[in-house]
Structure formats: C-alpha cells, structure tokens
Amino acid sequence: MEFEVQDWGIKMDCLQLPELPRELARRFMFLLSAAENEQLTEKDQADWVKISDYIDFRQFSVDRSPPRYQEGFLQTNKEKFIVVWHDGTRESLPPKAARALGDINAGERFSAHVKLGKNDETIGLERVSLLGATSEPAMEDWSAWPTKS
Amino acid sequence: MADEKLIVDFWDVGQGDCSVVRLPDNSLVIIDVGPRTSPLIDWLQEKPRRIHSIVITHNDADHAGGLPALVKLPGLTIGTVYMLEDRNKTDEQFINIFRAVREEQKKGRFNVIRLETDRLIWESATKGLDLIAIYPSFSENIEAMKPNETSAILCLRQKGKVGIIWPGDAPMQIVAEKCNGLTPSILTGPHHGGPVDRKKKDFKTWVAAMQPERLFVSVGTKRNYNLPAPAYLSQRAGHGCRVVCSQLTKHCDNEQVNKDLPVLQTAALLGLRPPRSGTPCRGCLRVTVSETEIITDAYDAEHQNRVEKLRRPLCLGK
C-alpha cells in the first residue's frame, strides 16, 4: 500500500514510513538547491511555494550561516557585557557569547566573527582581536576620502 | 551579438536597502548592502563570487552597515566601491562603518571612488544596458544639509530608457526634479516608502511627476520608524502602480505580524537568504532585464492572492 504526502510531491510505500523524515529533508534540500541554481520546473515551483509555508526557513538559514565579521566597542563588562556595534546598535550579550570578550577591557574596540541568531541577536563570538584605543580611528586623515577617480 | 540579460534581486534585508544586479558574466553589482545583520552576507559566504562593484547610495547604517562584514569576506574579489560624502567625517558611526573598508582598500583589494552624477557604474557590451548615477553632482553633494538630501539616485537604462530607479533615501522633491516625466518599470522607496519630505505641501505633485509601473518598498516589520507612509503608497496605488513591500507592517495585519506568519517566503523560493527579523510580505523580488523588457519572477500572482486576504494591506491603497 502507498501513501502520498500532501503538497510535498512524495509518494512512498507504507512499509517505508520510518524513512519519511529523511525523504522530507531530501525533498527540501533538492528544491532549495534547484531554486539557488534557477532550475525549478513548473511542478517543483508549485510544490516549493506550498512547502515553504511549512518550513521555518529563517531558522534553517540561521543554523547554517557561519559567523560574520563585525567591529564593536565594549562599553561595560561589570554585571553585563554591553557592546556598541559599528552601526551604533547597543547590545547586552548573553553570558555564553560574552565569555569570548574576557580579555577585552571596558572602553576598548575589537573585531570578532559573530554568530547571529533570530531577531539579529548575538549568540556567539569567535576570533576576537583588539582594534586599538577608542579615539584611534579618528586620528587618521579622512578628508581626501573617497577619491575622485 | 545575443541580447544580454541582467538578473536584479531586490532583497528583503529587514529595515534597510539592498539590491543585487547579476551581470551577463555572472559578476555582481551590489546597490546598498543593507544593515549590519544583512542576509546578503550569509548568501555571499556560501560560495566565492566576483563583485564588479558596490554602490552605497548614502552612508546610513541601514544601507551601509553590512560593509565591514562584506569587505572582510575571504574568497570575494571586489572591483570598486562607490560612495559619497553625506556627513562630517568625524562622525563616529561613519568612521566605524568605513574603517574596515579603508583597511581593505589600503591592501589593494579594491578602489574606493566618489559617486556622483554621470558616473557610469556598468554598461553592456552592446551599450544597450547601463547603470548610471544621475544625482548628486559634486556641488549638490557638498551643499546638502542632511545625509538623505544627498542620497544618490541610480538608474538602470535600457537603450536609453530608464527601466529601474534606485533613489535610496532621497527626498521626493529631488527625485521628481531628476526623474520628471519618467515611467520606469520599477522604483524603489524612496526612504522605505516614506519620503522624508512627505509632509510638504507640494508632495503630491512631486509624486505625480514620475509614474512607475511598480514600487518596491524595502521596509522592516521591526524598527521601521512608522514606515511606509500610508498616504504615499495609496497615492502610488491610485495611479495604477503595483506596490509591494518586502515585509509586513502592523498597519497591514497586526495579527499576522504578532504570529510572525510570512505572507510568502520568496527568499526560499528564489534561493536567497532571509533576514533574521521581521515578517516577509513580498520578501525579495527578482526581475530579468533585457534591452527591451523587464520580466518579474513567477510569484506575483501567488503574492497578490495572499495579500488580498490581509486585513488592511497598505499596498492596495486601502
């Protein structure tokens, strides 16, 4: 006897039911890959629209994304680790992420590779480096930048 | 020579702006990179790509905040970064965003060149397609009193006819002056669907000066500064313009926003990456551009069906 998974384009023998989660994951990965390579057929495209309603694509992407480069200023490391990122956003880091800033003093600027979670929150830092004193970037001469040609 | 085509992706980056133009040789022109948390970075990290140029319309964090992460990505080749001066260079945020850019420029990874009127970013071999800045001139840039007043306006032209306009956050008065009488296929924003001069008495006249077929509003569900402006979208829709927003706002459907239910996950459908916050409405939009036409992706009808089920969708002028 066979069964069909509605909207997913999957048909299987009932005896293969334990394989269903794997088949769902494979169908998802196939369609995402086809979308990335612009190789979706019309049928795939119609399935993909429906399937995308069932999946948490944001969580999938968050889990899959590597840390990214950011620069920040450690405002305080007393009770909380509060960082001001290069875009001016102020964030209180969760304790697990803050541990990576153990060697940075309050008032110092640093760069790090930052793992971002849902809602743009920092969930981890790695490859932390000091960027020098707060005023140092302003000492550079920016007046002739950018150039005309 | 075969008709050259471009693929233009208008990204959903939450609150911010970002578009990616894929050139016939598969290299990319990036027009604004979105905020620090821009999903463009996730996408670029997955495989090495060639970047023909990065164009920053102005230096606000929601347009340029992703720059440090982008220029520090290994495996990318970057040709030129185009930017303009829109604030005092002692501004701390300016220095912090562009420090990494200068550092990489000094290593010789790319050039950084001033963006101004008539700057040709790219043109096709047949010269039938080009991307050009039409504002600001050098003097307009330095005379501007506020960053948005000097936001660059970029045009993608098809045989000289303007097909797509990116005005960044430029005031509508300036957009009207520079684009008077134009009927582009697509206009973005400006200013996330709430032009900064929308309360001025001549605003409606400025809006009417240009009649786009479609308006793409890149706006975040969260931290959206009460954008987009309902009256602006309504006026555009009233002129027959098809309005779409990247993300849903509470104006459109509070319940759906509270449940964080996307209207359509086009980031997945197009093989792109979603932002980490906000509720997608149209999400991303992809168009294919040739010398004679602009064709949108296959998800317009599905999106329209779903939008009509929202409580008060601003894009329908309700």
- CATH number of the domain residue A77 falls in: 2.40.50
Does A42 share its domain with A88?
no
Portion of chain B with pLDDT greater than 70, in percent: 99
Q: Do B276 and A137 touch (CB under 8 A)?
A: no
Any CB–CB contact under 8 A between B90 and chain A? Answer: yes
pLDDT in tens, B147-199: 999 999 999 999 999 999 999 999 999 999 999 999 999 999 999 999 999 99
**Can you spell out the DSSP letters for B194-258?**
S-TTTTSTTHHHHHHT---SEEEE---SSS-TTPSPHHHHHHHHHTT-EEEESB--HHHHHHHHH
Q: Do both A106 and A47 map to the same domain? A: no
The last residue of one of the domains, among A55, A78, A97, is A55
Cβ separation B268–A57 shorter than 8 A: yes
For residue B296, list its beta bridge partners: B287
- Looking at the domain assignment, is residue A114 inside a domain? yes
Say if B14 is an interface residue toward chain A (CB within 8 Å). Answer: yes
Q: Is residue A110 part of a domain?
A: yes
Residues A29, A73 share a domain:
no
Residues A87 and A108 in one domain: yes
Average pLDDT, chain B: 95
Is the CB of residue B238 less than 8 Å away from at least one CB of chain A?
no
Q: Which of A32, A87, A149 sits opposite B36 (nearest CB)?
A: A87
Q: What is the pTM of this model?
A: 0.96
Alpha-carbon distance values, A85 to A70, A88, B63 (Å): 7, 5, 15
- Full residue range of the structural domain in which residue A123 is found: 68-136
> For position A134, what pLDDT does the model report?
46
Residue of A nearest to B302 (CA): A49
Sheet of A122-132: strands edge to edge?
A: A90-92, A82-85, A68-76, A109-116, A122-132
Could B299 and A148 be called an inter-chain contact, meaning their C-beta atoms sit closer than 8 Å?
no
My answer on whether A72 and A132 are in the same domain is yes
Q: Name the closest residue on chain B to residue A67, using Cα atoms.
A: B42
Distance between CA atoms of B201 and B205, rounded to whole angstroms?
Answer: 9
How many separate domains does chain A show?
A: 2
- Has residue A63 been placed in a domain? no
Helix (H, G, I), strand (E, B) or coil at A17: helix
CA dihedral B307, B313, B316, B318 (to 10 degrees): 140
The CA distance from B316 to B145, in Å, is: 35
- The mean pLDDT value for B257-267 works out to 96
Regarding whether A100 and A44 lie in a shared domain, the answer is no
CA distance B298 to chain A (A): 9
Q: Which of B69, B93, B270 sits opposite A68 (nearest CB)?
A: B69
